[in-house]
Amino acid sequence: MKLNYSRKIIFLALIVLLIVVFILSLAVGSVHIPIHQIWAIILDHADSNETYKIIIKDIRLPRIILSFLVGSALAVSGVVFQGVIRNPMVDPYIIGVSAGAGTAVTLAILFNWSITFLWFDTMPIMAFLGSLLTIFTVYRMARVNKKTPVTTFLLAGVAVGFLLNAVMSFLMVFVTGDLYKVVYWLMGSLITEGWKEVKIIVPYYILGLIPVVFYLKDLNILLLGEESAHNLGVNVERVKSILIFSGALLTAAAVSVSGIIGFIGLIVPHISRLIIGPDHRRLLPFSWLLGGLFLVVSDDLARTLIKPSEIPVGIITALVGAPYFIYLLKKKKDNLW
């Protein structure tokens, strides 16, 4: 894969910007940490402040890494679903993953279920299981004669999502004292308990990302249409199934630790496609970087705008993403592919 000079510069600029934002994110918060103290802690100097060291290593660093992982996972899954379904308006949540996770979490809170496994707590476990069960249900509903028509898959996802949202709304009527937990989770939050959430997401993040990387060429060919892809030697059903489950796994992993954070899987692939082009061999790594960067910055705003309190990060992404998406629709009326 050859990148021309301008694209190399764009990639390099994005990487440099990510590093700068990463360092600044360590500094900002309810407690401001000077940059020289951050360097002292990173380099493990003896004169580094112990309080600052605890704040950075146990609170801010895991939260920043979690933000990047969740943002990049949602962006990559957005690229995958938009490529497989061949529709730039598709969002990872459209297949009902968020509704499945929300329903499972609401059930756990309503019935006071307590599930622990290793470092996994009840809400991440229930969210992940609810997401995967929804994915499996949608996939089975969409299968027709050992094939998965894109339109049927999309409609099945929308139908299951609406049904589960209705169930979740009904259950929330009976959740009294802990209703705020459900509502806050549905708005999206990246509050961490040390490194626990990072440990939860990493295995599924890797499992979801690796197959996508190996099928980028096939994803490009799928853009020509399923019949053309089949004529070019692509096992269309196999590739679609692998990519759909990989994207869904990334989305489920993100939802399990952060709740519902909208617009990243929709708008980041759009912006990346406009900047870097439609070739998935470039589009996916660029979206991966940009999605992570976008959520890190959004979380910085969420935890500093009204400090020491926090705004749910899903509100920030919606406030930023919705107007920009409307702007894109007005400015780009030609084909985004």
Task: Summarize pLDDT for 205-236 with one digit per residue, the tens.
Answer: 999 999 999 999 999 998 888 788 888 888 88
Reported as a pLDDT band with limits 50, 70 and 90, residue 1 is very low
Cis (ω within 30 of 0) for the bond into 124?
A: no
- The structure's pTM equals 0.88
Task: Summarize pLDDT for 8-25 with one digit per residue, the tens.
Answer: 899 999 999 999 999 999
The pLDDT value given to residue 108? 82
Task: Summarize pLDDT for 256-291 with one digit per residue, the tens.
Answer: 888 889 889 988 998 899 899 889 999 999 999 999
117 beta partners: 120
Contact 134, 100 (CB under 8 A): yes
Mean pLDDT of 138-143: 83
Q: Is the pLDDT of residue 185 over 90?
A: no
Q: Is the pLDDT of residue 332 over 70?
A: no
Q: What angle do CA 43, 45, 48 make, to 5 degrees?
A: 110
On the 0-12 / 13-18 / 19+ scale of CB atoms within 10 A, 315 is middle
Rounded distance between C-alpha atoms, residue 228 and residue 223, angstroms: 9
Mean pLDDT of 57-64: 91
Q: Which domains does the chain have, with CATH numbers?
A: 1-335 (1.10.3470.10)
The candidate with the shortest Cα–Cα distance to 218, out of 209, 207, 208, 229, is: 229
- Per-residue DSSP letter, 117: B
The pLDDT value given to residue 269? 93
The pLDDT value given to residue 329? 67
The Cα-based distances of 252 to 140, 183, 257, 327 in angstroms read 18, 18, 9, 29
Task: Summarize pLDDT for 299-331 with one digit per residue, the tens.
Answer: 999 999 888 888 899 999 989 888 877 776 676
Rounded distance between C-alpha atoms, residue 296 and residue 304, angstroms: 12
Q: Is the pLDDT of residue 89 over 80?
A: no
